Structures are given as C-alpha cells and as structure tokens.
Structure 1
Amino acid sequence: MSNEVKLQEHLRKKPYLVDAIAGNSAMLVSLGQTGRLYRLWWPHIDYPQHVDEIRTGLSLSSMPGGVTWFDSTEAGWQHGANYVPHTNAYRVSSSHPDYPVQVEQTDYAAPGQPLMVRNYRLTYQGTETTDLEFYHYGSFRIAENEFYATTEFRGEHDALLHYRHEYAFAVGSSAECSGYQAGTGTWDAAASGNLNGNEIDMQPDGALKWTFTNIAPGQTVEFPIYIAAGDSRESALAALAHAKSRASNEWFDEMVAYWTNFLANATPCPSEDQAIAELYERSQLAMKLMADEQTGTIVAAPEFDEYFSRCGGYAYSWGRDAAFVTTAFNKAGLGDLSEKFYDWALTAQEPDGSWQQRHYHDGRLAPNWGLQIDEGSSILWGMWEYYVHSGQKQNFLDRVWPAVEKGAAFLVQYLDPETGLPKPSRDLWEEREAEHTYSAAAVFGGLTAAASFARRKGEDELAVAWEQSAQQIAQSIDEHCWNEERGSYYRGIKLTVSKEAYEAAHERGESGVVFQRDKGYWKHILDFDPIVDISLLGLSVPFGAVPIDAPRMKQTADTIQELLTSPKVGGIKRYEDDHYIGGNPWILTTLWLSHYRALQGQYENARELLQFAVNNVTSSGLLPEQVDRNTGETAWVVPLTWSHAMYILAVHFLAEKGELK
C-alpha cells in the first residue's frame, strides 16, 4: 500500500479538523460533531495516542437494514453538538428522519481517573414495541503502533481488553453485553449484526453488543460505556471495575463538580458581554486540557496530522507558545499551571543552557528543525512574568535560578559580534534561518528578565552585564533593522536562501554574500528580509525592546494592518507572502494586533480585532488557528492553545484600560 493510499485511509478515519476535545489533563480525546471519537491519548496528552477507529451503531428488530452507524452522516443521520455548559463534557444529539431513535451521547473523562465515560440515552420514537441492539466497535492502535496487539474478551469482567506491551484498555459497561467478537473480521461482523463470539486474537479490533428487549414507544434506555486505561491488563480491568462500582450519574455529577470548582477558583471574565464571557470561559477550560496533569507540559494542540502530510505536527511543547499561554494563565487565575510548566521547563534545558525548539512531555527533544533562539528566551521571560504574578515567591526563584543563569549565559554567547543581534537561527514560524528581528526582541526580553532575577539573588554584576547585553540588542535593532522604504522593521537580516532565490534577488538588485561552508557546500545569504510580518509587534508586545509609542513602532503597526488584513473576511495574516494552508488570517495574529492597539490607546480598533476572534469560534465554541481567507470557515487546527491564550490576554489588555465593553 502506497503512502498516499495509507494517508487517505487514515484521513477517512481521522480527519484533520476535529470539533471538540474532552479529557482530564491526563487522558485526552478528540471528537467529531457526529460524536465519533477520533483519537485518545493517555497517560499524557501528547504521547502516546492509542485509537485507530471507534464507532457506535444500533439496530431495531422493527426496522430493516441491520446496523446503522449513527456517528456518521452518510446514512442520513443528523447531529447537533455542543459542550455541556461550564464543563469539558461534549454532548451530541443524533436523529434520523426515517429511524425512530433519538440518541444523546455525552463524552467526558472522570477527574483523576484513567477513565473515559461515554454515556448514552436512547429514546425510542416508534409506534410499536421493539428490541434494540447497540454496537460498540473499537480498533486500538496502541502506542501508535499497528503491530503486536491483542484483543481478548474477559468474561469475568464482561469486557473487551485491548493490550500491547505496557498499555491496556478495557471496554465495558454497567449493563451486561449480549455479544462480542475479538480480532479478524470484527468490523464486517459488527456492520452485519453478527458477532461470532471469538474470544481472543492477535489483532487490534473488537466489538461488543448490548440488547434491550421490549422497548415501548417513548421509552428511554440509558447506559454508559467505559474506556478504562492501565499500564497492565490488571490495572485496566481494575479501573473498569471501579467505574462499574458506581452509578454513571455519580461520575457525571463528580465531573460537573470538578469543572465548577475549577472555574470558581479562576478569574471570572471582566466583561458582561455574553459572547465575550462564553469564549473566555471556554478558553480557560480548553487551556486546562492542554496542560499535562503530571508534568505540567503545555502542548500547542492535540495532534491531527500524524503523517506530517501538511505540517510538522502540533502535539509538542514549544517554549514560545507556552510563554504566552502561561502569561494568560496568570491573568485568568490559573497561575498554578504556570508554575508547574516552569518546573517542567527545568527538565528540558540542554546542558549548554539552551532550550531547543520543542519537546515531549518528559522533556525529551521532539522532532525539530534546529535551534530557535526565541524559545529559551521566551521561557526566561515567562518565568519572570510568573514570578511577578506570584508575589515574588522565594522558593520559585530559588528553583529556577540555576536554569536562568545558564540560560542567560547561553544567550549572551550567542550574540553576533558583527551586528549585536542574536546569531542566525530558525524564526518563530520555523520556516527560515536569519538574524530575525522578533528573535532579537525575545532575547532582549529573556536577558532583561534574567537581569531582574539576578538582582533578586544579589548577583548585581551579572545583572549589569545582562542588562548591558539587552540594551545592545535594542540599539542594534534600531541601527540595523529599520526599513525606511517599507515603513516597517525588517523581518530580519542575514537571511539564508536557496541558490535560485539568491540569484533572483541579485537580479532585482538585492545584496548579499555567498560563501563555502563545510564539506564543500555553499551558503547563500541576503542582507535583508523585507517581508512585513506580524511578529514584528513582538518588539513592543510583549518584550518591550521598542516602546509602544515609538514612531517607528507605530509606523510598523500601521503597515502591518494595511498589508496583512485579509480583504474578504478580515483578520490578520502572519506575513505578506504566506502560503501555509492557503495564506489565511490567524486568530492569534489578529489578537496580537489587538494587544498593541489596546496598549497604544486605539481602543475601538482593539475591540474590532477582538471581535474577529469572537465571531470565528467553531460550532463548539473553540478557537482554531486559522480562518479560511475566502469562506470564513475554520481552516486549520482545533483548538490552538496559543489562540485561546491570546484571546485571554486581549480581553485583559482592554479591561485593564477600562475599555472592554
């Protein structure tokens, strides 16, 4: 089977875009608007993922045609879905014009338990008594591996057990099943309604059936299906037994109480506008699910492109994203999550003091494109922001100081003696190598933060040295990075390009250098990168290398708004010639400009930019990464943690000025 065919088969089961997430910060699932469960991560929210395909269907003795899969639109099923208010439980209502059963499905993870609950209410709307059969089909690609799986029916537990190596998943219900099948041919058997009772097979597939007899018109059947996880067969079965030991409504009530308490201890939205407040609360709830319960790692988004067919993956922890997210945590009354993240960050620092591009939950380096100097700089800056927010907790200062000292020392030695800017590295979008203006601002912010830490530790000489290095960066930005012709800062200098791009630029009169590097390879570098990019706002917001009201900064912001506003749907693109997923406006970039306008005092514009986010939530109230530039539909990544963080910050920037309506 070719890679393209494999990809298409994969996307049939797991589309790029999802509609919702649910979980408890240790177990995470992604769901569709039909209620189909696409992916399940445990015991961490980034890795590993265990689901190949999970489907749910039913049949009635009074209806021809066998099993109908109601988690699909193909058979005529229609769906309405949204979150249970004030929780991370996702509820889907399914109906069919010709099939007399109304299905209500509620998915949530039990707090503090390795347990996913899928609660079903089946309301029969026919005119004569019938028997109802409910089917649950599961194919578990445990630890993202198609090999070495076993599926087994365990009669004493009335459950299917899927296991491979150190992970196991037990699937069952408090209602006793009436049929089962493990292994080869299970999907076809379930689709035909004829499970054969095979007890065990070295295959990932299995199905269960429940039969409810003599269902009268108007009668409702309610029962849960539990997916219990464990690091052994015994622990998964024990978790399932614990789930069955309580009534399903007790698990639901406990879940509601957990999220009610979570929100009660967070900062309420500072706006009385219903739409703004609802998105604020949903942002708090979503960001909590993106912070790993055990390690504190913050992931950018649930993974959705496992084959790297359109991007490089999102279920990793970036120091840059996390610095914005933790600052939003601070504002939203979730500072404990910030502290937990920075404790985790200590485990991810390299021996030389750097932080690399992105990491797994355990601090190991994730797939990457090389050093981004803004990542570690952002972590240092974010540490200081949390320290100030925390009331300057001494124990936090003492824990992070060794990492701060090593991190700042790395940043200082990474400065280019020729320009005074950080040496070339990848930009924040991970697309090009240069001495980037945004990266320089981030290093300014990191060194300024480190100097502030040093003064608290009584290390005045270090503080002075790091402050001087930071000021040299600010001076170098002023000297080397202004593009008078464009009315904007350069995106960067010393831009590495291909030979073909260099020759084309040379013909246009652009200057640069070519030199031979190792093993006889050649490197082509242009002097300037003149593309206008939203990240140039980072010079002021959040890093403060250039004052908000500096003439050049104001001119840059105006140029950004003029050139990067998407003409059909509004919103702000990342940069002028962006082609990623079609070159759409992003939520976070639009909100970034809102931040700047609020601090600048252009409140009406800041509110308009904020409203763009409010207007472009998904049907379940989450924020995507992008909005299609032609249709206004969700274009990519749901939810993006950074989008929700920038929204929280935009709300507070306006509220703190008394300008949030």
Structure 2
Amino acid sequence: MGAVHGSAEAVRRRPGMVPRTGGYVPLRDYAVIGDGRSAALIARDGAVDWIGLPDLDSPAVFGAVLDADRGGRFLLEPAVPHRSERRYLPDTNVLETTFVTPHGTVRVTDALTLRDEVALAPMRELLRRVDGVSGTVPMRWSVRPRFGYGTRTTRLVRRAGVPVATAGTDALAVCAWDAGEPVIEADAISGGFPAVPGRSALIAMPFAHQEPLVLPARAECEARLERTCAAWRRWAAARLPTGRWHQAVMRSLLTLKMLVFAPSGAVAAAVTTSLPEHLGGERNWDYRFSWVRDSAFTLAAFLRLGCPAEAHAYFWWLMHASQLTHPRLQVLYRLDGGTRTREETLPWEGYRGSSPVRTGNAAAGQTQLDTYGELLQTAWLYARATGSLDVDVSRRLAEVADLVCATWQEPDSGIWEVRSEPRHFTQSKMMCWVALDRAADLAGRRLIPDRNLARWNAARHEIATFVETRCVSPRRRCYVRSAGSEDLDAAVLLGHLHGYEGDVHRVGATITAVEQELRHGPFVDRYSGEDGLRGSEGAFLACSFWLAESLARAGRPAQAIDLMDELVSLANDVGLYGEEIDPATGDFLGNLPQGLSHLALISAACALDTAGKEADR
C-alpha cells in the first residue's frame, strides 16, 4: 500500500454543482433516503441513481451509479444550467435540494415515505415534491426503471390513465400532479413543467411486489409526506443528547436508523454494492448484509444514545441469525437472517469503469475468529443493560466460548477479509481473548453456565501469552498485524477499545506507530503489507475514528479532539461518510453510506465526551 498524504483542508465540501463525468457524479455528491425497508441514493443533480426494491438488499430497479447507460435512474432537474444546495430537513431523513438557475429558484423534497398502517397504502413509495421559490424554472423528469439489475424485460403500459412499468410480479407507477402530462417513451416515462412560486408539483412512484399496485391520490401522498417528517422528528427527539459533536452524532444515528432493516432488526453495512475502494480496481464488494464484526459498536451506539427498541431488536436478530450456524459464526448474514450469500458478477461496467460488479459476498464463508469476540462483547453489553439473558441464549454463548477454546490457535482471514493465505492475525487473537473474558464475566454474574469456566480462563491466559510473545515487534515494542510480522494494522486498536488487557506500554507504542506509519493528516490506512488483491485503496475512515478514540482513552484528549474535529469536517455536504476517502482528492471511495464509519464516529464522540466529563471532575 503506497503512502498517501492529505489534510482536511484539501477535501473541503464542493460548492454548487459538479458535472457528470461519463455519466457519473463523484460519490461524495450522493445523499441517501430510506424508510427502514429500502434506501435510495440521490445525486446532487437530482437523479435517483440507486434503489433496490422491495427491500434494501433486493435487485436494483435504478442502478445508474454502477452503469450509467444500462442501470436506470429517476431524473428530476431544471432544464437549464443550475447549481444546487442540499440539506436534510431538521431531525429527519427527508432530503431537500434547492436548485438555483438564471431563471429562478426551485426546491425539491425527496422521501421514501413511512407506510401508513391504517389506510391502504403502497408497499413502497418514493415521493418527489417540487416547489417554485422564485421566477419560472423549466423542469424535466424521466423514470427509466431496470428491474432485476436490468436483466428483466420491462413493459410500459397505462392503468387507469397512469403510466405503469412492470416486470413479472414487480410493478411501479408514476403518478404526476402539476408536473406535466407523463409521456411513455420506448424505455422511459417522462414529462416536463414550469415551476413557479406558490405552486407545488408532486411525482409519486408507488411500487408493488407480488401484491396489488396501489395508485394513491395526491392528498394521501401529501399527508404521508407530512407524517413521515413528523415520525422522523419524534424519533430523533427521543434520543439522548451528546456533547461537542452532537450534530454529527445525530446525523450518524439517523443514517444508522436508515440501515436498520425494520422487518428483522438487522443493520446493513451499507445500502450499495460494488462501489470501488480503488477506481479501476477489483476491490468492489456487496455490503448489503449485516456483519458480526459491527455488532458491538452497533449495540453500544443504540444503548448509549437511548435506542432501547433498536438495541433489543438487533440483539435478537443476531441471536436468531447466528443460531442457524451455531456454534460457528458466519462472517455476515442476510438482512432476513439467512445464510445464502453466493457471490456472482453482473454484466455492468461498474462505477466509472470499476468492475467487476458483484452481488453476494464470498467472505461469508471465511473463518474470522474476531467475530466470536464481537458476539460475546455484544451479549455482554446487552446483559449489562438488561440484567438478564434468555436461557437458550445463555447455553449457546457458553458453547461459543467452548468453540473459541478449541479454535483460537487456527489462522484466519481476519477482520479485513484477506483473500490470500490465512494468518495468525493479532486482532483476531485479541478478540478471542475478549470472547473468553466476557464469557467468564457473564458466568461470574450467573448469566451463562459456568461448567467450563476453568477451561475458558486457561485458554484466555494462553491467548494473552501468544499475543504478548509472538505478536509484538521487538524493534518498535508495539503490536503488529500478525504473528512474526513487522507490518502494522489499525484494527489492533480495536482490541484495546473492546477491552483486551494488553501491556499498557505496548498499547501506547502501537498508537504511536499507527500515527507515525499509517496516519497521513487525518487519514489512517488500514494496514501495511500485502493482502492478495490488485490495486491500492483510500484511507479507511473507521480507522481514523478508532485512532481518535484510542488517543482519548490513552490520556491524550487534546490530540484526540483535534483529530476528531478534522474528521467531522470530512463528511459530505449532508453529513454522510463513505467507507474510504482518497486523501489526495477528497473523493469518497467504497460503498455508502458506510455504517461502520458512522458507528466509529459515534463511538469516538461518546468516548471523548466521557473523557472530557471525567477530566472536569
């Protein structure tokens, strides 16, 4: 991995409009809306370039972010030159885009509405309201659906005078009011109209899958939009206050809420697949699954910020999903808790030519020993918050601890899911120690059976001996990436953050080594050394937040605050983060919005807030 250099100053938010290059906008220019079942990416120019329907992990109906020509999109924009500004309506996941043109100004409000459980409502519904602010602005729109990642034949017809696109058991309608007469073309439904002050246009796109397609009335759509805004605000108002970075934390929490798959309680890693970690490279993965590696951060965030319902739902989803493979863990699970994650390739060109475009994720079949530590840490956090565990869950957790005793000495693919020869990764061993430490603590609280407590304690001691003798650089006296290596790995910081009781001097030396060799400005690389894949990658944002939290816990709050301030400024114009950032350009890389980036922000902000309060005592 080559060295990268940069600073927050070099990646400030871009004002106005950035033109498309080859049909693509920078990933930084996307916002996301969601309804707890699906999610859509909306570009700064007003195009919906991604949505999976009916669910977040379903095949895309709009996929232009991965193939500008064949992917399909929902375009809505002024028909004249323009620039734009965006925001989320306060305390909501409803997006507002203001277009400024030489002819006047127009405002577009976008939402995936929350379903009305009383009245008959569409299965899914995308609403786009256009309000004239000043002058007369000519607007144009077109809907080009591509069902099943563009692999299915789309029929365009009219039902009750409304244009409808169908493919098999999927159907979507385009209902337009004061938005021009919809015209059915060869592969699209389109229209145009003048936006003037005092008049609102509305375009609704109801969707149905294996059920009747509901064609709503305008008044119903308007009412659902208002109820959706009100529901988001009620939810946000019930959350606990945070400190210095409250706005960034709340936006991250609202983003995390969009990644919660409401029917099951699972939390998706991202809403997209195959957005590249390196333009033109092969590091393009499907992130529309729930990773066990994110579980402790997820539960901790819900508990810290006053989301008990989400914490409970997520914990029980994790327990049910992991039961399917018990006692072994699968690295990731489907949002419905299933284990089918076969990796396949789509015939799309990929974002700006970055192929392959994948669905499914072969990493599910890897051995990643750190996941056992994450699972036990999550159960430990849940038990501390609730004071109890289900009897069957208690038994299963004890059996997981037994498995860790039997398998911790095996090499694995590690948290970064390397697709080369398995190794003895330090972070994996540390998390095995955490697994047994949490199991012992739960047994001491009489929350899980203690019949093998002596075995757990003995194995925990053996793991600590392995880490402290074989996973340390004699030269730098810090923890290294894997046994016998001199490479560094920012993920080793997670062992410290999750409670591995390593040598305090080695922890400090590791923080210093990460700062000196993996950090460049506010950016932190994941690791040094090879990983078996071609091409480089950007700086991994979660690692930067882990470093900030580690600095705070190591008694270096001033440095932690400075780094945190820089990191918060790296969000895009609506407060979102991708997986990685190119330090040289500020471009987002990887899938987005990235749940782990937002979880790491929340964890670091809460840790720094706690450290500040303790220092003031």
* TM-score range for the pair, normalised by the shorter chain length: 0.7 to 0.9
What's the CA shift for 1:209? Answer: 3.0
- Given the alignment, which residue of 487, 492, 509 partners 1:531? 487
Q: Is the 8 A contact 2:27 2:588 kept in 1?
A: no
Q: Which runs of 5+ in 1 are unaligned?
A: 1-8, 58-68, 127-131, 185-204, 417-422, 494-527
Matched residue, 1:102: 105
| CA–CA separation in structure 2 for the residues paired with 1:321 and 1:415 | 20
Matched residue, 1:28: 39
Q: C-alpha deviations, 1:492-515, integer Å up to 9, x for none? A: 12xxxxxxxxxxxxxxxxxxxxxx
Matched residue, 1:448: 437
Among the aligned pairs, what percent are the same residue? 19
Matched residue, 1:172: 175
| CA–CA separation in structure 1 for the residues paired with 2:110 and 2:248 | 21
| CA–CA separation in structure 2 for the residues paired with 1:571 and 1:176 | 45
| CA–CA separation in structure 2 for the residues paired with 1:596 and 1:286 | 24
| CA–CA separation in structure 2 for the residues paired with 1:467 and 1:174 | 68
What's the CA shift for 1:44? Answer: 2.6
| Corresponding position: 1:302 with 2:271 | yes
| CA–CA separation in structure 2 for the residues paired with 1:314 and 1:11 | 25
What's the CA shift for 1:582? Answer: 4.5
SS in 2 for 1:142: coil
Matched residue, 2:497: 541
Structure 2 length-normalised TM: 0.82
Matched residue, 2:472: 482
Q: C-alpha deviations, 1:551-587, integer Å up to 9, x for none? A: 2221121111121221xx4332222357997454332
What's the CA shift for 1:26? Answer: 0.9
- Given the alignment, which residue of 217, 230, 246 partners 2:208? 230
| Corresponding position: 1:289 with 2:258 | yes
Q: C-alpha deviations, 1:264-322, integer Å up to 9, x for none? A: 21111233xxxx22111101110100111111111111214279954222222111023
What's the CA shift for 1:426? Answer: 0.5
Q: Is the 8 A contact 1:397 1:453 kept in 2?
A: no
Matched residue, 1:513: none
What's the CA shift for 1:246? Answer: 2.1
Within 5 Å, which residues of 2 pair with 1:507-526? none
Matched residue, 1:408: 401
Matched residue, 2:373: 377
| Corresponding position: 1:162 with 2:135 | no
What's the CA shift for 1:639? Answer: 2.0
| CA–CA separation in structure 2 for the residues paired with 1:136 and 1:576 | 47
Matched residue, 1:117: 127
Matched residue, 1:501: none
Instruction: Name which of structure 1's ranges 81-90 and 322-331 shifts more when overlaid on structure 2.
Output: 322-331
Equivalent position amino acid for 2:339 in 1: R
| CA–CA separation in structure 2 for the residues paired with 1:609 and 1:386 | 30
| CA–CA separation in structure 1 for the residues paired with 2:78 and 2:372 | 47
| CA–CA separation in structure 2 for the residues paired with 1:472 and 1:334 | 38
- Given the alignment, which residue of 456, 469, 481 partners 2:459? 469
| CA–CA separation in structure 1 for the residues paired with 2:403 and 2:508 | 32
SS in 2 for 1:80: strand
Q: Is the 8 A contact 1:356 1:376 kept in 2?
A: no
| CA–CA separation in structure 2 for the residues paired with 1:177 and 1:632 | 39
Q: C-alpha deviations, 1:601-652, integer Å up to 9, x for none? A: 1111111221122121111111233232224444444321111111111111
CA shift in 2, pair 1:21/1:578, >3 Å: farther
- RMSD (CA atoms): 2.9
Within 5 Å, which residues of 2 pair with 1:99-248? 100-112=103-115, 114-123=124-133, 125=135, 135-154=140-159, 156=160, 158-175=161-178, 178-181=181-184, 184=186, 205-209=187-191, 219-232=197-210, 234=212, 236=213, 238=214, 240-241=215-216, 244-246=218-220, 248=222
Q: Is the 8 A contact 1:103 1:121 kept in 2?
A: yes
- Given the alignment, which residue of 395, 401, 416 partners 1:429? 416
| CA–CA separation in structure 2 for the residues paired with 1:412 and 1:86 | 46
CA shift in 2, pair 1:326/1:47, >3 Å: farther
Equivalent position amino acid for 1:576 in 2: S
Equivalent position amino acid for 2:206 in 1: A
Which gives a bigger RCO, structure 1 or 2 (Cα 8 Å, sep 6+)? 2
SS in 2 for 1:339: helix
Q: Is the 8 A contact 1:577 1:583 kept in 2?
A: no
CA shift in 2, pair 1:26/1:179, >3 Å: closer
Equivalent position amino acid for 2:367 in 1: L
Q: Is the 8 A contact 1:625 1:640 kept in 2?
A: yes
Q: Is the 8 A contact 2:44 2:84 kept in 1?
A: yes
Equivalent position amino acid for 1:230 in 2: A
Q: Which runs of 5+ in 2 are unaligned?
A: 1-19, 63-70, 117-123, 342-360
- Given the alignment, which residue of 554, 564, 585 partners 1:610? 564
User: Considering only CA atoms, is the larger Rg found in Structure 1 or Structure 2?
Assistant: 1
CA shift in 2, pair 1:468/1:297, >3 Å: same
Structure 1 length-normalised TM: 0.77
Equivalent position amino acid for 2:411 in 1: P
Q: Is the 8 A contact 1:616 1:634 kept in 2?
A: no
How many residue pairs were aligned?
Answer: 549
